């Protein structure tokens, strides 16, 4: 069982330039100890013959061919807009 001491927590906090209260130190000591215990548990798992992988599911790219298709005509699009100014769609100002 890996054991994290309060001095370990304070040292890492000092390196990270993080101010911790005594309550924070106690809480992080427990959390880091549990984390290291879990890492020890994972380290004990037999992985002989298991190939390294980046995903647990097989992935493949599903792409379609690019096919040129006609788009909507600008006059049709303009009729769908709630506000127009000539041939343009009028939208609220977002930048001052």
pLDDT tens for each residue of 5-24: 999 999 999 999 999 999 99
Instruction: Please tell me whether residue 56 adopts helix, strand or coil conformation.
Output: coil
Query: What is the per-residue pLDDT for 32?
Result: 94
pTM of the model: 0.50
| 89 contacts 81 by C-beta, under 8 angstroms | yes
Query: What is the per-residue pLDDT for 23?
Result: 96
DSSP string, 68-94: ------HHHHHHHSSSEETTEE-----
pLDDT for 2 beyond 70: no
The mean pLDDT of 45-69, rounded to a whole number, is 86
Instruction: Find residue 89's DSSP bridge partners.
Output: 84
The mean pLDDT of 49-62, rounded to a whole number, is 82
Q: What percent of the chain has pLDDT over 70?
A: 98
**What span, in angstroms and rounded, lies between the C-alpha atoms of 33 and 40?**
11
Query: What is the per-residue pLDDT for 74?
Result: 79
């Amino acid at each position: 069982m890996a054991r994290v001491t309060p001095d370990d927590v304070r040292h890492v906090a000092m390196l990270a330039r993080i101010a911790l209260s005594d309550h924070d130190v106690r809480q992080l000591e427990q959390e880091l100890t549990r984390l290291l215990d879990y890492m020890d548990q994972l380290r004990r798992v037999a992985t002989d013959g298991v190939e390294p992988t980046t995903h647990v599911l097989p992935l493949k790219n599903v792409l379609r061919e690019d096919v040129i298709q006609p788009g909507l005509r600008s006059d049709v699009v303009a009729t769908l807009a709630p506000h127009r100014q000539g041939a343009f769609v009028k939208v609220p100002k977002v930048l001052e």
